Structure 1
Amino acid sequence: MSLGVRLEGVSVGFGRGGRGAPVVAGVDAEFAEGSFTALLGPSGCGKSTLLNAVAGFVRPTAGGVTVGGAPVTGPGPDRGVVFQQYALFPWLSARGNVEFALKRLGLPRSERRRRALDALAEVGLAEGAEKRPGELSGGMQQRVALARALAAEPEVLLMDEPFGALDPLTRGRMQELLTGLWRRAGTTVLFVTHDLDEALALAQRVLVLGGSPGRVLADHPVPAGGPDPGLRARVAAHLGA
């Protein structure tokens, strides 16, 4: 199950009452149900701010965000979020961390446990369910964070540079895992990255952001068979704009 996402004239400013200099300004974009889109751009261009607006963590100072046609007014279980930092409770097991995140849904304990174990199995951590974060590698901890988001069965998965702190080998494995999960679940994915190769390897579409305040510089579809020889050069040219 998945929902579409729409940004209409979205601007976000910080400071008192949001009256500070805007971080992003006038962003229009639409993401179809079940699509996988990379938000690509340098640090400071507003990628994470837009993701946080979709998540409901920040409110636009102008424009609006809808998910499945409904206005976003705050966080909700229809949207799962995975950050670069794992943010796991060190005193809880992998299963306990996933279960804890499900408490907000009001599920009975037996259902929370079932969902947690199913999600950990889905990310290849069934045998590590009772281990604490300190007993897990960085890649395994990020799998727990991904399982935590998936266990709530969100229609939209928001990912903010989730693999940026991982070594190249682990990062590649996590990218393969994510691609497989997305193909099976059909969840709408928005994936923030500043890595051009990662964006082209994972996404169906690459939205290039840049400038100050941030804005959409280019919108590139990625062919089903993978990027054509000239696509990387075209995207890179927009990154350098």
Structure 2
Amino acid sequence: MSLDVRLEGLSVGYGAAPVLERTDLEFPAGSFTALLGPSGCGKSTVLNTIAGFVRPAGGLVTAGSAPVSGPGPERGVVFQHYALFPWRTARGNVEFALKRLGLPRAERRRRALAALAEVGLAEGAEKYPAELSGGMRQRVALARALAAEPEVLLMDEPFGALDALTRTRMQALLRELWRRTGTTVLFVTHDIDEALTLAERVIVLGGAPGRVLADHPVPAGPPDPDLRSLIARHLGSE
């Protein structure tokens, strides 16, 4: 299942400093959208506002028909830094995140093992983070989000710290999971090639305060060099 997400006149500021000016965007249910732009343009702010971690200064955010007023299990979040408990196994980390849902222990265990299998980490379920590679730790973080069966998956540069080969593998895994689950995905990145490889739509943000510079559908197939050049020009104009 998946939800649509809407931003209506969204503006965000930290203290007296505006970070995002009035922004209207819609992310249809089941879509995969990349938010692309340089550091400080408001990409993570958009994501954190949808997640319910940041309160808007103005405007409205809705997930489905419900206004977003705080975090919720229907919106899963994956960050660049894994934030795993080192004293818990991979399974234990995923199970711990499910406690907030009030599930029985047996159901938490079932979901955790199923999510780890879904990301290809079934054999590492009883390993601790120190025993896992960076890519494996990020798989645990992804499994932790998926285990709650979210309808929206929010990802903030989750593969930025990985080496090139592992990053490519994680991108392929994410695309396959999206095709299989139909979850609405919003993926923050500053990498044009990553955005074009993963998403079916790229929104370019820029400026200070942040604003939408461009909104491009991404054609199927290998990354389009003309679209890549166009997006690079958008970013170069900032």
TM-score, L = length of structure 2: 0.98
Matching of residue 39 in structure 1 with residue 35 in structure 2: yes
227-236 or 54-63, which deviates more = 227-236
Q: Secondary structure at the match of 1:102?
A: helix
Partner residue in 2 for 1:166:
162
Taking the TM superposition and a 5 Å limit, the aligned residue runs for 1:156-195 are 156-195=152-191
Partner residue in 2 for 1:231:
227
Matching of residue 126 in structure 1 with residue 102 in structure 2: no
Cα distance in 2 for partners of 1:173, 1:202 equals: 12
Encode CA deviations 1:159-216: one digit per residue, 9 max, x unaligned: 0000000000100000000000000000000000000000000000000000000000
Cα distance in 1 for partners of 2:58, 2:168 equals: 38
Partner residue in 1 for 2:44:
48
Query: Match for 1:37: what amino acid?
Result: T
Cα pair 2:41 2:206 within 8 Å, conserved: yes
Structure 2: which 5+ residue stretches go unaligned? none
Aligned residues: 237
Q: Secondary structure at the match of 2:225?
A: coil
Cα distance in 1 for partners of 2:219, 2:3 equals: 22
Cα distance in 2 for partners of 1:173, 1:7 equals: 32
Taking the TM superposition and a 5 Å limit, the aligned residue runs for 1:54-203 are 54-203=50-199
Aligned-residue offset at 1:228: 3.0
Identity %: 80
Cα distance in 2 for partners of 1:104, 1:92 equals: 17
Cα distance in 2 for partners of 1:237, 1:225 equals: 22
Query: Match for 2:77: what amino acid?
Result: V
Cα distance in 2 for partners of 1:219, 1:156 equals: 20
Structure 1: which 5+ residue stretches go unaligned? none
Moved beyond 4 Å, runs of 4+: none
Root mean square deviation of aligned Cα: 0.7
Query: Match for 2:55: what amino acid?
Result: R
Cα distance in 2 for partners of 1:230, 1:172 equals: 22
Matching of residue 213 in structure 1 with residue 221 in structure 2: no
Query: Match for 1:2: what amino acid?
Result: S
Query: Match for 1:148: what amino acid?
Result: R
Aligned-residue offset at 1:99: 0.1
Query: Match for 2:174: what amino acid?
Result: L
Encode CA deviations 1:90-141: one digit per residue, 9 max, x unaligned: 0000000000000000000000000000000000000000000000000000
Cα distance in 2 for partners of 1:96, 1:215 equals: 40
Cα distance in 1 for partners of 2:163, 2:223 equals: 24
